[in-house]
Amino acid sequence: MHLPHHADEYSADLLTRIISVQRPDIVITARTVVEGRQYGDGNASTAGRCVFDVDYAPGTDPTLPRRLVVKIARIGANADHHVLYRNELNFYQRLRPVLDIEAPLSLGSHFDEDSGTFALVMEDLSLRGGQCMNNQVEHSPAHVRQLFDVLAPLHARFWNSPRFEQDLAWVPAHTHGPLHTIFSDPSRVPAHIAATVPHVHFKREMLQRAGVSPADLYQQVQRAQQAQRRGPLTLLHGDCHVGNTYRLPNGAGLIDWQLLAHGHYMHDVGYYIQTSLGIADRRRHERELIGYYLDRLQQAGVTTPPSLDDAWLHYRRACAWNLYIGWLPVGIENYGWEICELAHLRVTTAYEDLQTARAIAELD
């Protein structure tokens, strides 16, 4: 089933076919296009988005959302994008139904192996008062704690779980497998970073200020991730920057699960703190916020959580990924100038403040 790249090509019948495997009880009888966006309009980095108002067949569950968001493949997606698409669909098909977590409801999804196209049909969060976040929206330590109220129980459920050698063996790891290859193979993302950073002035000069090169960061990320293999390991959102979160009237949630992974807990925790808070607030509150996360971890069932000192050391080291993989590959066309520049500024400043290079150099 080849899936279109444009909203007006999605008929009510096609939407019904996409969701039929997971929800054969749902028939969409009519749809109206509300919005259609593709990569390059400052909306996202790997996928497009369509929004539809829909009508259902008589007798359909009346609680179903009347407005749907459909995430679709970007035009020109390559094999690396396909890995990310499959990964997110695996989350929604195999994990989301059994998780008590604030994340969007999915009605169904499909990945077409022949064309590399996909569609993920979800609720429109705005119908529940949801607001998708970015670094242009003011964030306070209280907002970080709200997100940790979601993240810590998720981490706790899979904390050092043997299931990653069993029924969750399909979840990619940070130190081997397809995600690791995309971000570590010198011909993939590292090659893109090496080719683009010298020609993007603000990226180049931020690294100059920090006294680090892309090649240095590559080595630091590899060393830090190898050290993180010792654990504790859990199920990660994997791309937990502020732009992949949303705010509700009574809490917060997580979207965009393309980098779902099995890895070190601090990967999620540190990335969210450093991208969500302004520099002054991050400096003032980051250690206490890590302490709050550890407390919530224990409340969620981790009997012996890491010490604050151990977590702080991992927090310092994890910053290398936040800068190198998290933002250096990201183009202005992904999220727009202000979001990209501010994200780079925040993670580069954290890298300097936390003396990340020194913390990694001290690894044995």
Residue range 205-217: mean pLDDT, rounded? 98
pTM over cut 0.85: yes
Residue range 266-286: mean pLDDT, rounded? 98
Residues composing the chain: 364
Residue range 123-135: mean pLDDT, rounded? 97
**pLDDT bucket at 26, cuts 50 / 70 / 90:** very high
For the chain, give the percent of residues with pLDDT over 90: 95
Torsion of CA 74, 327, 219, 320, to 10 degrees: -140
Residue range 132-147: mean pLDDT, rounded? 97
Q: CB-based contacts of 337: which residues, under 8 Å, 6+ apart? A: none
The domain defined by 131-361 carries CATH number 2.40.10.10: no
What is the predicted pLDDT for the residue at 46? 83
What is the predicted pLDDT for the residue at 333? 87
What is the predicted pLDDT for the residue at 43? 59
Same fold? 7-128, 131-361: no
Q: What angle do CA 338, 131, 329 make, to 5 degrees?
A: 35
What is the predicted pLDDT for the residue at 37? 87
What is the predicted pLDDT for the residue at 1? 79
What is the predicted pLDDT for the residue at 38? 83
Looking at the domain 7-128, which fold is it? Phosphorylase Kinase; domain 1 (3.30.200)
**pLDDT bucket at 132, cuts 50 / 70 / 90:** very high
Note if the bond before 249 is cis, omega within 30 degrees.
Answer: no
What are the residue ranges spanned by the domains of the chain? 7-128, 131-361
